[in-house]
Chain A
Amino acid sequence: MGVFDPVLNLGRGLGETLRSFFFERTVTYQYPEQKREVRPRYRGRHVLKRYENGLEKCIGCSLCAAACPADAIFVEASENTDEKRFSPGERYASTYEINMLRCIYCGFCEDACPTEAIVLGDNYELSFLNRRDAVYTKDLLLESVPTAESLTPRKVESGVYTRSVPEMKDPTD
């Protein structure tokens, strides 16, 4: 190491900061206006999914509530009838509540669900003014429907939905 190297290194440090001052692009996102895309498997707020025909995927089995390590999920199931059908299975979730203050977004509910009904979405902007508002009820969690006729509950012909648990394909993601 030369005699003047320490001084030169001080100068090189200065040059590095000056270079980033003039030539480096900032990494900042101007947040409320400009949002960053989340990753495909990001674990945000839960969404209750529907089938393409609009019926709910949730069959009220409470496996998510059993899997939940934070005890954040509460499910109450009721029987489907062909007059008032919510889901293709035997039963549906008449009450489905997630306390977002308890939830730790671990995704175990997603893993436990036999019908892929509950999915952790990409919404991370959760804020509440009181603890009551943190409890998300079923109507807040449920996916919206494209048209009015695919709303649940609905009247269906008898004999179409006979299985207690709907047929499932292997999960892809």
Chain B
Amino acid sequence: MDWTIWVEWIVKGFVLCLILLTGFAYLTLYERRALARMQVRVGPNRAGYQGLLQPIADAVKLIFKEELTPARVYKVVFVLAPILTVVPSLVLAAVIPLGTSFNFFGREITLYIADLNVGVLYLTSIASIAVYGITLAGWSSNNKYAMLGGIRASAQMISYELSLGLCFAIAIVMSNSMNLVDIVNAQKDMWFAVIQPVGALIFLIVTLAEVNRAPFDMPEAEQELTAGFHSEYSGMKFALFFMAEYQKMIVICMISATLFFGGYREFWFLKDTFLSVDRYWFLAPIYLLLKVVVLLFFMIWIRATWPRIRYDRLMAFGWKVLLPLSLVVLFITATGILLAQELNNQLFIYGIPVLSIISAMVAVALVFNDLRRKSNGRV
């Protein structure tokens, strides 16, 4: 094998890690500033211009903090757990296409590390590995609160992973490929979020649960579990959990953008203009960044607005609402595409969003009825 390809891989991996690390640092600032504005505060604006050096100050503080290891923890697992949480969040980004390709001294450099033909499967498998770190952290801490947090994390992950997988399947069905580059290119004419809005919505809800964000942040519920799985962690080990959570937020927003919002591609109505990705390669990462920033804003916005969902309702919502609904939506999507292909009539494609929205409304009505029955008519 050509040695230059190794250099290319190493450089690209290094750059991707750097992007995610700085992204994590500035995501914390972004979240703090945005949350502050929603709560009619200003937020950190002291370190550097408008607080731009705040992440560096935080990093210095965390590095110099005392790192405490409680006496009766299972040391090996206790040390390994934060690492097990961080690594998948970095590795996850390897298959996500950041752009097309550009010419570098006569060599074609593609803007993704691996062009895996089963990229979607890779994403689902690596994304679920991260929960091992959380569960093991909770278990090895020798603390009941941490243990409960870890168990909650694993139970929640299992419940929501099913709907997540079905949402991945929707994207696969619509693009007829498991390759993420093909999925992005299939959205050249229309985003999948427009054809399948309910699927995109379910995906966004499930990703919130997947990265343990509000309103599904049961594993680290401060009020009930002090800090959940990371209550015994301090210093850099705690920072690693923090890092993993925020990097996973970024990566999962990249995945949502790729699967349902056109990935690195421009808006579908800018297809043949000079703003197209096919014209200038450097526009692709910018478009992806914009989409990720908007999706991250949604996560922060939801955290600022909605209260945490009760644990039994979290489980009921995952199993009794999201899973059947995503199954129905997948069925509608597959049927619509099959009919459009077999009967050669594009009208069936337009039936997909209509039928899915109707099924989502039916789901809302069923949930409402069920809640009313349980509370004797007082909703």
Contact = CB atoms under 8 A, between A and B. Distances in A.
Interface string A52-78: 000000000000000000000000000
Contacts of A7: 364
A20 B306 contact: no
B41 interface: yes
A21 B364 contact: no
Given A17-B38, A21-B37, A27-B41, A1 B305 contact: no
Given A21-B34, A27-B40, 18 more contacts: A3-B364, A3-B365, A3-B368, A3-B369, A4-B364, A4-B365, A4-B368, A6-B364, A10-B306, A13-B306, A14-B305, A17-B304, A17-B305, A20-B38, A20-B40, A21-B37, A25-B40, A28-B42
Contacts of A30: 42
A3 B368 CA distance: 6
Nearest to B371: A6
Contacts of A16: 305
B39 A20 contact: yes
A164 interface: no
Nearest to A14: B305
A1 B38 contact: no
A26 B37 contact: yes
Contacts of A37: none
A24 interface: yes
28 contacts: A1-B379, A3-B364, A3-B368, A3-B369, A4-B364, A4-B368, A6-B364, A6-B379, A7-B364, A10-B306, A13-B305, A13-B306, A14-B301, A14-B305, A17-B301, A18-B38, A18-B301, A20-B38, A21-B37, A21-B301, A25-B40, A26-B36, A26-B37, A26-B40, A26-B42, A27-B40, A27-B41, A30-B42
A27 to B, nearest CB: 5
Nearest to A29: B42
B302 interface: yes
Interface residues of A, number: 19
A1 B301 CA distance: 26
Contacts of A3: 364-365, 368-369
Interface in B15-38: 34, 36-38
B327 to A, nearest CB: 21
A26 B41 contact: yes
B41 A28 contact: yes
Contacts of B364: 3-4, 6-7
Nearest to A24: B40
Contacts of A13: 305-306
A111 B347 CA distance: 86
Interface string A36-62: 000000000000000000000000000
Interface of B: 34, 36-42, 301-302, 304-306, 361, 364-365, 368-369, 379
A28 B40 CA distance: 8
B37 A20 contact: yes
A59 B251 CA distance: 74
Given A14-B301, A14-B302, A16-B305, A21 B42 contact: no
Contacts of B42: 26, 28, 30
A1 B364 CA distance: 14
Contacts of B34: 21
A28 B369 CA distance: 45
Contacts of A14: 301-302, 305
Nearest to A6: B368
Contacts of B361: 4
Contacts of A18: 38, 301
B374 to A, nearest CB: 14
A21 B38 contact: yes
Nearest to A7: B364
A13 B306 CA distance: 7
Contacts of A21: 34, 37-38, 301
Nearest to B46: A30
Nearest to A2: B368
A1 B378 CA distance: 9
A10 B302 CA distance: 10
Chain B CB within 10 Å, residue with most, of A1, A26, A27:
A26
B368 to A, nearest CB: 5
Q: Which 3 A-B pairs have the closest CB atoms?
A: A28-B42, A17-B305, A17-B38
Nearest to B42: A28
